[in-house]
Structure 1
Amino acid sequence: MIQEKTVIPGLSTREAEKRINKVGLNELQHKKKISPIVIFLSQFNDFMVWVLLGATVISGIMGDTADAITIIIIVIVNAILGFIQEFRTEKSLEALKNLAAPTCKVFRDGRIKVLNSIYLTIGDVVVLEAGDRVPADGELFEASGIMVDESLLTGESVGVSKDSSSKKCNVFMGTTVLKGKGIFKVTRIGMDTEMGKIANLLDNIKDEKSPLKERLESLGKILVILCLVICGVVTVLGIIRGNDVTEMFLLGVSLAVAAIPEGLAAIVTVALALGVSRMLKRNALIRKLPAVETLGCTSIICSDKTGTLTQNKMTVKEVYINGRIVELEREKLKDYEFFRKALVYCNDCNYDFNEKYMERALHGDPTETALIKLFFEDVKDLEGYIGKAERVFDIPFDSTRKMMSVIIKESGKETCYVKGAPERLIEKCSFILEDDKVKPLTFQKRKRVAAFIEAMSSRALRCIAAAYKEEGLTKSEKLEQGLIFIGVAGSIDPPRLEARDAVLKCKLAGIRPIMITGDHKNTALAIAKSLNICNSEEQVIVGEELENISDKELDKRLDTTRVFARVSPDHKLRIVRGFKKKNNVVAMTGDGVNDAPAIKEADIGISMGLSGTDVTKEASSMILMDDNFATIVAAVEEGRVIYDNIRKFIRYLLSCNLGEVLTMFLASLFTLPNPLTPIQILFVNLATDGLPAIALGVDPADKDIMRETPREKKEGIFARGLAEKILVRGCLIGICTLLSFMISRFYGMNLVACRTIALATLVMSQLFHVFECRSERHSIFEIKLFTNMYLVGAVTVSIIMLCSILYVPFLQNVFHTIPLALNQWLIVLFFSGTIAMINSVYLFIKTK
């Protein structure tokens, strides 16, 4: 425990603000952000747009001014929609980067505060612990077994020990504390640090592209070539039939612009960014965009127990001393002074001022605070108690040793106190304290103590043992030999109320929840049973057993194992690799620095936002802001929703674009007049491609999305019949549009009327189809219309746009349309709605 007399006041808030204003923030210079103007202008940096604008200029010179102006307006409106998508994406991703900024513990106004590291300034006093990333350059003036990884600066992979007794013991921004603790004073910040000298290297790091986005960009290139060929054929056939060359050229370009899904990759990015924002609202912070896709494939979730599946609110329920369970009354516990000193002195809790309750409060690991509260209710009493003692040496807790030791000097006498996992600590004990007398720890006594610990663990109690010694106090790990066993405290950390429902949700979704914990086997089993993760002891593997079985044997056991108990972080890596070897997509949680390799190895590395170290967060794909297992399940659900929504608008865009191309191609093939003019084709693209597609990107989840098995990680975007759906529906849209055009001609309507009917049919076919695209498993009759008001709004806007060009006289002249009569609308609705209705009835019957 950091004692009050060792606390450095540090800077005052006012003084820190003055220095920040004078020397700036503690941040590295990055590439300049792209300005909104540049983003907007980049929307015009497209070959097809250039060609279209060039053709428009030619059209204007030849006297068709109205068409030329309208096309330019449509191009600008499309650019505005593209700008909104891209700008919103940039803002979302920037906000997420800021949220992921590292924090640090700093002394301000005489107490420890957790700050975003950019607000550090020269003269600040910072606390470092294992797993922290050093937030600035500075000089260590207090250190306890601290070792720092400086490979980022030096290239040396071996950790560097730091000794605060040396004249200059420096730490550097960006390096990582591997173990130990320390306090340093900031001497350099931002670009003045050693890291600042190599800041340009950071600017060369490229943002990760989603694999899905890369696949769609490749697909886009193929579609561009295909569309250009078809549009070229349409143009050439029109010219051969004697149509005006300029008109056919403009028609071909317009059709290419409408047919090529140039916004596909951009909409994917928007969908991912919006999904990430939704995840953040559910306390899951995505650090790497590709993780969003992978989340939907998750088949195994390996989760820590404490704080993730449980509430992380430890309370001591039982104490075993002198061979029996004793009463938990503070006055009576004072009789066991060695036990109290071991658990209070050998403790890393801090006491700090709580602004919410306007009083001093404990701050630290829940288990350690529970041990303190066993003996002290008031922080002032605690301060008075530990103020009489001085910590002269310590060996910090680590997950491999599972112990912590301190040497305390009290009234001129030094004593070593140790606490840790009972089975590890008892191995180091040669004696036992019974009735205030030190006696040999015989085999029978060991057996009796082990039986008590076993019984406590079976009641889901987390056991912490205490020991001490007064002789042979060498300041090394040999200190932890020949100890005197005192007793055991059993704490309980009840399961989270929402965890059981989250586990059930996992099982229904075909996902196996796996508990991984450092706790005793019985404790882990009791909690796992209460959460319905497992139901028998045969489904548990302990760390010692894990070390003694071969990979082949582990491979067999993984199919039935649901709990790993008493494991170290090193074991986690082996567990992850084992599950991945069996073609599972693995999500793994962790908080300590030693968890980083397993988190990096996992398909989805998940770090703890509240208790996680900077190293773990850097290695992870996702950060749990509330350290809650239910949040992981919520993130998996969101990952599935996002992927489903991407499939929805891919289905919609490609079906509609295929319908547009086929309409024109078949008309040319059958030597019919062009069913649509260039400006009408561009209007269809504007009215149907933009807003409805974006609205599909925020569609709520299917009600049974978490009752489907996880998809394969390597599954193509067109798997599960999507390609067939696109092909069939695209052909039907094209054929129905052409049929409406031909029927109109059959009834003797003029060309303008026929084209107007074809235009309305094409637009309405696509707007009906957008509702079909809301689900691959359910018909329109099963999907509630108003569960996506964005889509209802988008379709409404598209219909208003269509009616405007049909009934506003000025727009009629621009788009070459006529106002449709009731009988003409019947043709439109028959051809646009009948196919959608038949398809929905078929799907409804099929799913019943």
Structure 2
Amino acid sequence: MGLTEKEAAERLRTEGENVFGESRKAVPVKIFLGQFKDVMVMILLAATVVSVLLGEITDAVTIILIVLLNAILGFVQEYRTEHTLEALRSMTSPTAKCWRDGKLTEIDAAKLVTGDIIELEAGDRIPADGVVLKAAGFFTDESILTGESTAVGKTAGDTTDRDNSLNKPNIVYCGASATKGTCRAEIIATGKNTQMGRISEMLTDIDSEATPLQKRLAELGKIVAIICLVVCAAVFGAGVLRGENAFDMLMTGITIAIAAIPEGLPATVTIALALAVSRMLKQKALVNKLHSVETLGCTSVICSDKTGTITENKMTVTELSTVSENYGFSGMGYRVSGAVTKGDNIAVNPMTEKALTEALRCGVVCSTAEISAHEAPKSRNRGTLAGKGEWKVTGDPTEAALLIAAAKAGITRESLSGSCRVIEEYPFDSETRFMAVHCQWGSEKRIYFKGAEEVLLPRCSQYMDENGKASPMTAAVRRELEERAADMSDKALRVLALAVCTSENFDPDRGNLVFLGFAGMTDPPREEAKTAIRKCASASVKTVMITGDHKNTAVAVAKKAGLLKGGKAITGAELDKLTDEELDRDIGKYTVFARVEPVHKLRIVKSFKRRGEIVTMTGDGVNDAPAVKEADVGVAMGVTGTDVTKQAADVILMDDNLATLVNAVEQGRCVYANIRKFVRYLLSCNIGEVLTMFLGMIMGMPVVLLPVQILLVNLVTDGLPAVALGMEQPESDIMSRPPRRSGEGFFAGGLMWKIVIRGIFIGLSTLASFTTVMRMGGSVEACRTAALITLVVSQLIHVFECRSERKSIFRMNPFGNMKLVGAAFLSVAALAAAVMIPQLQLVFSTVTPDMVQLLAALGFSFAVPVLANLMHNS
């Protein structure tokens, strides 16, 4: 049976290993050099060269240290992410049970070739695509490929079939999990030829795009470059017109232009992003690509997978309907606590409800799943179970749901073991569509059945009444049960019929079953997802659900999750009938996309992007990977996500929770707001410095500030305060504002106007301080010292103004950002040391100001925010 080792080795040489193609691991040197591609960094490197040529070695060393710090921060973040992702990569099955040389051996799954025959059982990961040769009650979870949350039954069909198209009952697919039963299959496709491999190949056709922040920073870099050229030309022209030496004026112009460069900006942006990444990791979101943090902030559409993201991916029995009564079960998912009720939430004692008890016994007996809890749950009264945490589940999720429902009624496999002994088990078969268990129950023998309603109900000639007695199944009762099953299906409940036969020799065609009840189960929406969807709506972020599940199921879940308000549902087949133009026009009407395939998901994302939306796409299966990569921000699931999807994603949710993604969107908005804040701060300050030097020279004054004093200003104002500003917490209303438009410029909302006006105020106040002390008879050193104090203090006051674009400094809590308070204190201390300590006075050419000079310098510093606030309120 199977291939010989020699045949397998020959095929391995021609076909290659059973792998998808190793992803190119990022080389550390390449990651590091990639940090220098930014426009601002290139300008800084050019400024370093110019500084060296001018003999300003101190300036050059300072700039190069800042550039290196920025590169190291970016490198550490990306390199650490690479290693974290390596730890998460665990998609393909590491081993496979394969027949070689007539013996069943365990081999490395990468060594599988076509023609190999493998054995599969519950819990196995399928290592390659294969045709089923033999199966016994075999089910697989193919959700990673199809998005379908329900296990799929597999049967032997045409064993010569070599077509591995999706959704075939005689084909098992690579990456899917075996949930129940056993199977023998022949490998028909490996590696890139499997369905999973083909989808992963689609990823190579999708090009990476610059993020909105990278585009904005490139735009900012160009503006700064233009400002530098304009300043250089203006100083040069003004000096030549005054009769100064042309070469000296060119050098002076270049020096002032370099002062205009916000050299702290790249490092501060990187630090702000890295801090956001750290905060997001604590909130269970791992960022793969640093700049994607900010892109999340301008997300306008979230395309979310259903299973496990909006829902819990834990089947739960919520209803059980007997002929005489409808029962409800509280406690969603695998939570230990829960209760059984009937009617208008009336507590029941299951032991007095004969039909209910027998139906739950049937569910326990007809189950191969296992549930266990850390601590034994307590039942304060029958029908109510109290306990902490969740059940640990192994086996089929549907059968586990029945076990958990029975446990809430005090019925467990252990409690039945004394009175029920299994004689024979007939596994679920996709042809008969039911499972049966023959058991000895006390002195009598019974056969319990669990299966499809349309299969078992017609075979029921009796039903169990409220007293536990078998009564004849009348046409009226049968009609009522059919309607009840239809009602449960309309509520997107998966309906299972439960029945029993007390005859030892059951003949399926005779139909002598006793109907016990219908169990209705669902994959419930996460409570956090409901909250997250409401939060998105208030933030003007559209949330849509994309799933491979049936349309009715998807719509029912969407209603429960609060997604369908005013929106419509559409299937993949209906999408195929629309042209791209029609889809682009109407896509805003839909909030649910059901029965979709990978190509549909990719098309949906592209359509939203063509409409100018910033799209975030979540996914866990290989079928999601192309759309995840195409989206502006791709988000993979860390728990259920596949290797291919994680590699394609920008962000990985470690808890598979939509609420975590919404928190990440909030952090992204906060990051962009903070970047705008310190860009405003740094540019305003640099404009103030340039104007101080430029206007002083135009007015024929002595050099207002010496180069070493300008360096001191940059050290105490551009460093710690700007970084601390990047740590500002999100403003309370940040998630009640609409996302910014994709084409919106960095300086939108009048930011450039604020920067220029504030820079002019800082420059004029510094010049006013210099001239005032000069008129008081102060020395040139005293004038420069006063100007230095005014320039630094006015900038430190301005950093507090930059904490909000909507509130003035007088309407904000000054201690709302204690890191900023600390940074400002250190900067003031450094300024005081440079002005007061004799040794530092020699270095920075300063003198100790007298009280009048100090008050004048501080007065001009505080005049700036007062004037700015008056203008703001006018």
Aligned mate of 1:830, from 859, 866, 874: 859
- Once the two structures are superposed, what CA deviation does each residue of 1:1-57 show, in whole Å capped at 9, x if it has no partner? xxxxxxxxxxxxxxxxxxxxxxxxxx999566469999999999934334434544x
Aligned mate of 1:362, from 389, 393, 412: 393
Are 1:456 and 2:483 counterparts?
no
For 2:13, the equivalent position in structure 1 comes to: none
Aligned mate of 2:534, from 486, 501, 504: 504
Aligned mate of 2:174, from 172, 177, 180: 177
Mark the runs of 5 or more structure 1 residues left unpaired by the alignment.
1-26, 57-67, 105-115, 126-133, 151-156, 167-175, 185-201, 396-402, 420-424, 469-483
Counterpart residue type for residue 212 of structure 1? L
For residues 587 and 594 of structure 1, the distance between their equivalents in structure 2, rounded to whole angstroms, comes to 16
For residues 404 and 97 of structure 1, the distance between their equivalents in structure 2, rounded to whole angstroms, comes to 49
Closer/same/farther in 2, CA of residues 122 and 494 from structure 1, 3 Å limit: closer
Counterpart residue type for residue 87 of structure 1? I
For 1:298, the equivalent position in structure 2 comes to: 299
Shift of 1:685: 1.4
Closer/same/farther in 2, CA of residues 335 and 503 from structure 1, 3 Å limit: closer
- Aligned length in residues: 723
For 1:480, the equivalent position in structure 2 comes to: none
Shift of 1:763: 1.2
Shift of 1:248: 7.5
- Secondary structure of the residue aligned to 2:262 is coil
For residues 336 and 278 of structure 1, the distance between their equivalents in structure 2, rounded to whole angstroms, comes to 49
Closer/same/farther in 2, CA of residues 731 and 444 from structure 1, 3 Å limit: farther
For 2:837, the equivalent position in structure 1 comes to: 808
2:359–2:517: 8 Å Cα contact kept in structure 1? no
For residues 443 and 719 of structure 1, the distance between their equivalents in structure 2, rounded to whole angstroms, comes to 72
Aligned mate of 1:711, from 715, 737, 740: 740
Counterpart residue type for residue 802 of structure 1? L
Are 1:761 and 2:790 counterparts?
yes
2:97–2:118: 8 Å Cα contact kept in structure 1? no
Aligned mate of 2:569, from 510, 520, 541: 541
- Secondary structure of the residue aligned to 1:101 is helix
For 1:12, the equivalent position in structure 2 comes to: none
1:352–1:362: 8 Å Cα contact kept in structure 2? yes
Moved more, 500-509 or 640-649: 500-509
Shift of 1:255: 3.3
For residues 35 and 608 of structure 2, the distance between their equivalents in structure 1, rounded to whole angstroms, comes to 46
Aligned mate of 1:592, from 610, 621, 626: 621
Are 1:818 and 2:803 counterparts?
no
Shift of 1:264: 2.4
Counterpart residue type for residue 110 of structure 2? D
1:319–1:487: 8 Å Cα contact kept in structure 2? yes
1:209–1:289: 8 Å Cα contact kept in structure 2? no
For 2:698, the equivalent position in structure 1 comes to: 669
For 1:262, the equivalent position in structure 2 comes to: 263
Shift of 1:777: 0.9
Closer/same/farther in 2, CA of residues 766 and 39 from structure 1, 3 Å limit: farther
For 2:320, the equivalent position in structure 1 comes to: 319
- Secondary structure of the residue aligned to 1:660 is helix
- Secondary structure of the residue aligned to 2:76 is helix
For residues 592 and 367 of structure 1, the distance between their equivalents in structure 2, rounded to whole angstroms, comes to 21
5 Å-filtered alignment, 1:28-43, equals 33=28
- Once the two structures are superposed, what CA deviation does each residue of 1:717-769 show, in whole Å capped at 9, x if it has no partner? 11111111112112222222222222222232221111111111111121111
For 1:91, the equivalent position in structure 2 comes to: 76
2:492–2:556: 8 Å Cα contact kept in structure 1? no
For 1:490, the equivalent position in structure 2 comes to: 520
1:343–1:466: 8 Å Cα contact kept in structure 2? no
1:283–1:626: 8 Å Cα contact kept in structure 2? yes
1:279–1:635: 8 Å Cα contact kept in structure 2? yes
- Secondary structure of the residue aligned to 2:745 is coil
Closer/same/farther in 2, CA of residues 833 and 435 from structure 1, 3 Å limit: same
- Secondary structure of the residue aligned to 2:367 is helix
- Once the two structures are superposed, what CA deviation does each residue of 1:209-233 show, in whole Å capped at 9, x if it has no partner? 6442354245425524642563475
2:554–2:594: 8 Å Cα contact kept in structure 1? no
1:391–1:409: 8 Å Cα contact kept in structure 2? yes
- Once the two structures are superposed, what CA deviation does each residue of 1:358-398 show, in whole Å capped at 9, x if it has no partner? 99942367555213434576677999999987899988xxx
Closer/same/farther in 2, CA of residues 600 and 304 from structure 1, 3 Å limit: same
Counterpart residue type for residue 45 of structure 2? D
Moved more, 802-811 or 90-99: 90-99
Moved more, 43-52 or 770-779: 43-52
Shift of 1:799: 0.9
1:148–1:177: 8 Å Cα contact kept in structure 2? yes
- Secondary structure of the residue aligned to 2:274 is helix
2:32–2:75: 8 Å Cα contact kept in structure 1? no
Shift of 1:142: 2.7
1:351–1:361: 8 Å Cα contact kept in structure 2? yes
For residues 101 and 88 of structure 1, the distance between their equivalents in structure 2, rounded to whole angstroms, comes to 20
Closer/same/farther in 2, CA of residues 394 and 765 from structure 1, 3 Å limit: farther
Closer/same/farther in 2, CA of residues 692 and 78 from structure 1, 3 Å limit: farther
For 1:728, the equivalent position in structure 2 comes to: 757
The percent of aligned pairs where both chains have the same amino acid is: 39
- Secondary structure of the residue aligned to 1:294 is helix
- Once the two structures are superposed, what CA deviation does each residue of 1:645-694 show, in whole Å capped at 9, x if it has no partner? 11111111111111111211112222221101111111111111111111
For residues 481 and 644 of structure 2, the distance between their equivalents in structure 1, rounded to whole angstroms, comes to 38
Shift of 1:815: 0.7
- Secondary structure of the residue aligned to 2:86 is coil
For residues 334 and 565 of structure 1, the distance between their equivalents in structure 2, rounded to whole angstroms, comes to 40
Counterpart residue type for residue 177 of structure 1? C
For 1:11, the equivalent position in structure 2 comes to: none
- Once the two structures are superposed, what CA deviation does each residue of 1:64-118 show, in whole Å capped at 9, x if it has no partner? xxxx8xx64x7656655555544344333333333333547xxxxxxxxxxx689
Aligned mate of 2:462, from 435, 440, 462: 435
Moved more, 602-611 or 208-217: 208-217
Question: What TM-score results when the alignment is normalised by the length of structure 1?
Answer: 0.69
Closer/same/farther in 2, CA of residues 578 and 88 from structure 1, 3 Å limit: closer
For 2:633, the equivalent position in structure 1 comes to: 604
For residues 839 and 100 of structure 1, the distance between their equivalents in structure 2, rounded to whole angstroms, comes to 49
Are 1:289 and 2:266 counterparts?
no
Counterpart residue type for residue 795 of structure 2? Q
1:319–1:328: 8 Å Cα contact kept in structure 2? no
For residues 240 and 118 of structure 2, the distance between their equivalents in structure 1, rounded to whole angstroms, comes to 84
For residues 612 and 432 of structure 2, the distance between their equivalents in structure 1, rounded to whole angstroms, comes to 39
Moved more, 282-291 or 745-754: 282-291
- Secondary structure of the residue aligned to 2:730 is coil
